[in-house]
Structure 1
Amino acid sequence: MKKIASILVISLLLLSCKDDKSVKYVPESIGAINSLSVVIDNELWQGEVGDKVREYFAAPVVGLTLEEPLFTINYMPPSVFTGSIQHSRSVLYVTRDSTNKTLIKTDVYAKPQKVAVISGKNVQDIKKEIDANAGKIIEAFRGLEITEAQKRFRRSLNREGVLKETFNVNLEIPSAYKVGRQEDNFVWYDRQVPKGTMNVIMYAMPEDYFKNDSTLVRDILRMRDSIGSVYIPGEDIPGKKNHMVTEKIFAPHVYPAEIAGKKAVEVRGLWEMSDYPMGGPYLMYIINDKENNRKLIIEGFTFAPASRKRDNMFELEAILKTITFLKS
């Protein structure tokens, strides 16, 4: 009866939110960045449904040196999902019900918050709902987490106007990042983290640099290596020019994207030094800036050997996505 009551309560709450236009007070949501509360009874969690949830929501993040899950999952049965736990920022509620349905609702128990509810008549139906809707749920959760990360670092921003002067753009960068190098067509910010650094770089390439889709990956590697050889040196090695290059064994992951309303390409991969055992992950956006006849490149990369890097790279992604193009 307690389980049925929990299902009825959450169903009524979600359905009532759809039509209720009045403003109601909800507390501020809680939770670490990239944490996910999964509410599901133990029988489902220990079986095929739990495996399916983990397949999507704990899948390895693309482009990291160590295997790390997309979300850190905090599992709980429905009876525990009460009180302040309901204020978790991202919630996935999975249950048996009389209908097969997936809902994504906003600010149900707290603000900001996303609550996704997946229901099915039996195990196979629930698995089908997860297969069909996991992508859009993950997109909603990640969007919320990006917004939350940006909200947190906007409390203290770097006020240097280097990017405006050099590229006529604005980027919201936490004050912990400092300009380490500035050239006519290259700017490098970095910050210290335990055992390493986090970095943001920006530069521009000619509008026609990337000839066609068939050579895109090769052109990206060529571009990164040429920029690394000029601007990103490594440890001094006698008789060698040690500098950043793209890791060649694993091909980068390339996706279409949109940044600041402009068409772009997202690239995730690994970097290393040409003559020194040092490397890490990078995230790059190649932005089609037609108004200025250029491809604007913005990249975040990190170096933190033997450390988890998911949240570092997520912070860099949140920073890169704040870019805005200023009017001339």
Structure 2
Amino acid sequence: MKTLSSILIALVLGCSLASCDSNGTTADSSKPKARGSIGEIILVIDSVKWAGPVGDELKEIFESDIPGMIRSESKFKVNTVDPRAMTRILKMSNNLIYVTTFDDKGSASQVINAQFSKESKEKAENDPNIYSLRIEDEYAIGQEVLYLFGNTEDQLIANLRKNGDRLQNLFEVRERGRLEKILLARKNSAANFEANEKLGIEINVPASYKVAKSENDFLWVRQITPSANRADISLFFYETDYTSEEQTFPVNILALRDSITKQHIFGDPEDPNSYVVSEKQIPPAFRNMVINDNFTTEIRGAWKTNNISMGGSYLGYLMVDQKKGKLYYIEGFVFYPNEIHRDALREIETILLNTNVSWTDDQGA
């Protein structure tokens, strides 16, 4: 194991998480492959610190609720481990976070602190903005190891509060990348052909998804899983003309969504009154972003059928392609009664963010 002393000394003072990158070494083929489920984080920390203010900030970053859900579900599955109880197996985890403060004299924190040299601690003391260090493949191939530290708890808390979104995004992007390699190893070319022909967009969906409905402005693909071990996931894609900025207002996005599902998606295909609607008692959460140079609004919420007892969670994106003068609404929704929806929503997010609404015929299918 490389010492944190040599790595920290090489860092530029005042670095943030964005600049505290990998140590640049090549992967050691003799190391084992990292292990662990998607979205799982092993957090190595003194139990007293986890139960205190530092733990509260970490929980806000990694265990905060996914917005728009029917019930409380955290963004990541966090398992805390006492530093003194770390085993070889645990050190092979995909996502490993060590947390300590240099003023902590407890035996658990001292196990982590012993990895920092006196010179490293002095550098951190002289620049309170140094609070994190990323090392890839430290114990296993394909691993992300993150050290979060501070001279005092107050200093560490301040940095966590300031950089919480960045820390959260680091693991969200990483886990989507891991999942993408698994999901899109085999793609449904027929579904992509339908999207090209009917909507003028390029989609990437796993081979396990099948086309349920295809029209000139609408495509529905579905992964039907009668097993209780996997969620029933549907994805749909819709195109219309972009005529006004008002179409991107949250109230109008919600109205558009409900108009699409009322026309196309039913809990019981034989019952026209069983169409899908947004759950109004749980306010959806909206977030603006830019994806592939297109203004995009993310919406997370809950759905139900109009007249039968079915419901679940959904994640959608309204995308504007001003060059084409088109507005696209793409969504994935989950039916998985009494089970956790977090993994299914991450799957939906990974697939939908691989959609290219700016696709044109001259780009090829």
- Is the shorter-chain TM-score for this pair beyond 0.5, marking a shared fold? yes
* One of 321, 325, 334 as aligned partner of 1:302: 334
**Aligned counterpart, 1:3:** none
Say if 2:45 is the partner of 1:65: no
Matches of 2:23 and 2:206 in 1, distance apart? 38
Quote the offset at 1:234 in angstroms: 2.6
* One of 224, 234, 257 as aligned partner of 2:267: 234
Question: TM-score scaled by structure 2?
Answer: 0.79
1:1-328 aligned within 5 A: 9-13=3-7, 21=24, 23-25=26-28, 27-81=32-86, 83-97=88-102, 98=121, 99=124, 100=128, 101-109=130-138, 110-160=140-190, 161-193=193-225, 194-195=227-228, 197-208=232-243, 210-211=245-246, 216-235=249-268, 241-324=273-356, 325-328=358-361
The 1:224–1:311 alpha-carbon spacing in structure 2 relative to 1, beyond 3 Å, is same
Deviations, residues 182-211 of structure 1 (Å, cap 9, x unaligned): 111110011123356201000112202552
The 1:19–1:172 alpha-carbon spacing in structure 2 relative to 1, beyond 3 Å, is closer
Please say if residues 68 and 282 of structure 2, whose CA atoms lie closer than 8 Å, have aligned partners that are also in contact: no
Structure 1: state its 5+ residue gaps: 1-5
Matches of 2:259 and 2:247 in 1, distance apart? 19
Deviations, residues 66-92 of structure 1 (Å, cap 9, x unaligned): 211111112112334453433322222
SS of corresponding position for 1:291: coil
Quote the offset at 1:11 in angstroms: 4.9
Quote the offset at 1:310 in angstroms: 0.6
Q: Between Structure 1 and Structure 2, which shows a larger proportion of strand residues?
A: 1
Quote the offset at 1:64 in angstroms: 2.1
SS of corresponding position for 2:98: strand
Quote the offset at 1:132 in angstroms: 1.5
Please say if residues 242 and 322 of structure 2, whose CA atoms lie closer than 8 Å, have aligned partners that are also in contact: yes
The 1:136–1:111 alpha-carbon spacing in structure 2 relative to 1, beyond 3 Å, is farther
Please say if residues 27 and 137 of structure 2, whose CA atoms lie closer than 8 Å, have aligned partners that are also in contact: no
- Identify the range of structure 1 (125-134 vs 182-191) with the bigger mean alpha-carbon deviation: 125-134
The 1:244–1:210 alpha-carbon spacing in structure 2 relative to 1, beyond 3 Å, is farther
Matches of 2:146 and 2:22 in 1, distance apart? 17
Quote the offset at 1:236 in angstroms: 7.0
- Identify the range of structure 1 (41-50 vs 64-73) with the bigger mean alpha-carbon deviation: 41-50
Question: TM-score scaled by structure 1?
Answer: 0.88
SS of corresponding position for 1:136: helix
Give the number of equivalent residue pairs: 319
The 1:18–1:172 alpha-carbon spacing in structure 2 relative to 1, beyond 3 Å, is closer
Please say if residues 209 and 221 of structure 2, whose CA atoms lie closer than 8 Å, have aligned partners that are also in contact: yes
- Identify the range of structure 1 (182-191 vs 70-79) with the bigger mean alpha-carbon deviation: 70-79
Quote the offset at 1:15 in angstroms: 5.7
RMSD: 2.6
Matches of 1:81 and 1:208 in 2, distance apart? 58
